[in-house]
Structure formats: C-alpha cells, structure tokens
Amino acid sequence: MKVLELFAGVGGFRVGLENADADLYQTKWANQFEPSRKSQDAFEVYDYQFSDSENINKDIALITDEEFQKMDADIIVGGFPCQDYSVARSKKYEMGIEGKKGVLFWEIIRAVRNINPKYLILENVDRLLKAPSKQRGRDFAIMLAAFNQLNYSVEWRVINAADYGRRQRRRRVYFFVYRNDVPFAKRIDSKFEGVDELLINENMYDEYLFQDGLFARQFPINQVPYKGRQAYYELSDDIVEVSDNFTGTVWNTGIMRHGRYFTIDTEATGAETPIPMRDTLQPENEVDEKYYITDEDKLKKFAYLRGPKKIERKTAEGHTYMYSEGGMSPYEDLNLPSRTMLTSEGSVNRSTHFIKINDQYRLITPIEAERLQDFPDDWTKLKLTNGNVTEVSDRMRMFFMGNALVTSVVERIGIELKKIKD
C-alpha cells in the first residue's frame, strides 16, 4: 500500500506503519515544511532517515493539483496543525468553501480530491473536538462534513497512550477515514441491509463503536458509554451551514457514515499497564553533565513554576484579575508514566520534565524524549543539509518530540488496518 505522509515532521507516522509491516506500508512521498523557520531541521532529519522516498520541502499550498494527481497513494497520513476551521462562501474555490485560518486542513481535502486514496489516518490535539469555545464541536463537524462530501466515512477516538501500555499520558484524537466503496465499508453496510432506519440509528453505531470499528479492535473500551453520554447528529450537506449553525455534541469516540454521526464518551478498560518513567530513563552513567541542574537560581525557578501561585494580571482592555495556578509535584513521580511532553521541553518551564535521582536534579535527555514517543534512540541526532550530515541541537530535538506522536499508537492502527483492508 503506497503512503503519502503530509506534515511529516521527523517521520512518526512512517515509523509506526513500518513497525506494523514495512513490506505492506511503503511511504513513497512525504511533505514537511516549517514556514516560520529559515532552517528546515525536521525535513532534514526526515531526509536523513528516509532517502528512498520523494521528500518535498515546500509549502503544501504550492504542491499543485497535477503533482498530487501523480501520487497514486492508497493512504494519506498526517498530524496537521490545529487552527480555526470556520468557513465562508467563495466563488473562487471548487468546493465553494474557504477556510479562514484552518487552511492546512483544506489542503488535506484538496489532496484527497486529487488522489482519491482508499484510507487516511490523521492525528490532532483532543481539544479539536470541543473547538471553538463559543460553538463547541463545530470545527470537527466541518471536517466530518467535508469528508462526507467526498464520499468518505470517519471513525475517531481520543487515545491516551498510557491507557494502552505506553510511557506517556498523551491524549490525542486519531481519525480513521475510509472511502465508502472499500471492502470494509461494504461489509459494515451489508450487516444492516433491510434493517429499519430507526434501529440502524440506535443499534448499528453501538455495535460498530464497541466491536466492529478499527479502534474498538485495537484499543478496547468499557462496553457502555461513560455516564451514559452519547449523541446522534445529522450533518447538513452545506458545509457553510454546518459552520454557521452547528449545535451538536462530539464525544471522544464516534463514527460518521453517509452524513450521520453517532458519538459516545468512553473509557479505556484499564487492562494494559503503562511503562513508568523510571523505565524510560537512561542509566545515570550515560547521562551527560549538561543535563544536571546545580544552579540555585534555576532550582528556585523550577520550585516557583511548579508551586501554587496567584498573580494579578490585566486584560488588553485594562481589566485587572487574579490568575490562580495550582501546585504540582516538585519533581516527576518516576513510578508513573510521563506527563505529556510539549515543544517547550528542556527549557526552564512549568511543563518541563524535572527529575530527581540520587538527590540530584536534571532534565530528560533527547534520547529519553524520543523514547517517550516510541522513536528509536538518537532518531533525531543527525540531519542531511545540502548533502552534508550534521548534528541537530538538543533544543530542536526536544521541539521535534514535543510536536511528535506516540509511534506505537500508529503501529497498532497499522496492524488493524492490515487485517480489515481486504
């Protein structure tokens, strides 16, 4: 199966899929471009690791329709940025819609329109399901409506990697998108031929989300909705109408087929034990001195940042208010899986992993950061710049991992797709 990796970063989707089956999943094309940076470090790491694919380092908007049409990909994968996905009418665009800020999602839709892949696997932050705050769920509903217009179904699940035996408490929403004429979709439809429409609404989706869906098979959940939370919604065929008037609810698990979606709030079964932080760390004799913190001012700064506080702040309009922040553990609990890693990892920051071992304090190393995302050790150490192999700075390596996904989650998705694709 030929794969196109968009917003490729340092290759998380490719690592996961190749771990699932390197012979089956063959990434032929990859696009990575960071518009806000002169140096293209992530692309150069990808280019160093994967020289056998067509690696494209330019703004996705500059990839022409004709270029996409030459990519006969079976699967498109990518972790696209989270933005504002509201839409407005426009005579300029074929679909009659224009993203105001979330233009990168519409580039995915453009790629789908030109390539017509069988499947997509996408990833985003879980707050997408509740965005924007003034019209919760609208952005995600727009995405569902866009895929529905192109004759695709969408299954989604918010997955906390630690719930499924991994090292990090990282919650992300994953989409499994499939064309409505693939064998898997036809098998689902055939189970309900001749069934009363009302029963389809009430029973089909429960059975799919708890038993038949890709995520249900690889990421087991308790077999009843959490606190009974569930919702059913029928999407308008007009995406602008969805953008302007959406009033539905979107929970952490769901399926959209033929313009209708059913969504439930679910909990993992708790059957898989996560890997504690201490099992991620390198032996102390392998850790460079530069990761240890002995400076008293830095130690005091970490104590302040991680402690409770009340700070007087002003709004842009001059209104004064008190900002409160609760305290957290003064350093990481090594018996638990890691907290979520952010792009600020390694800096003097409240979110930075701060470790105490043998009465010494230190930060995590780039190798430990890579392990938290299930990348091989030193995956991001080297890059290929203008034909020359050079080293990547620690700061950039941490940034890459803060942006990355847990590759073993993608691996499990790949394993299940292998089973259901035929």
**Coil vs helix vs strand at 292:** strand
- Residue 223: in which H helix or E strand, if any? none
Judge whether 82 counts as a catalytic residue: yes
Q: How many CB atoms lie within 10 A of CB 116?
A: 14
Please tell me what DSSP assigns to residue 278.
G
**Coil vs helix vs strand at 53:** coil
Cα 242 from Cα 240, distance rounded (Å) = 5
Out of 2, 57, 67, 82, pick the active-site residue. Answer: 82
Alpha-carbon distance values, 190 to 176, 186, 240, 353, 421 (Å): 20, 6, 32, 50, 16
> Which two structure tokens, joined as six digits, stand for 275?
């890997």
Alpha-carbon distance values, 310 to 15, 282, 307, 324, 351 (Å): 43, 37, 10, 4, 18
Q: Is 140 exposed, middle or buried (0-12, 13-18, 19+ CB in 10 A)?
A: buried
Alpha-carbon distance values, 363 to 75, 282, 294, 304, 331 (Å): 38, 12, 11, 16, 10
Strand partners, 355: 362
Q: 47: which residues sit within 8 A by CB, 6+ positions away? A: 55, 57, 383, 384
Contact between 373 and 407 (Cβ < 8 Å): yes
CA torsion sign for 93, 98, 104, 106 is: negative
Catalytic residues: 82
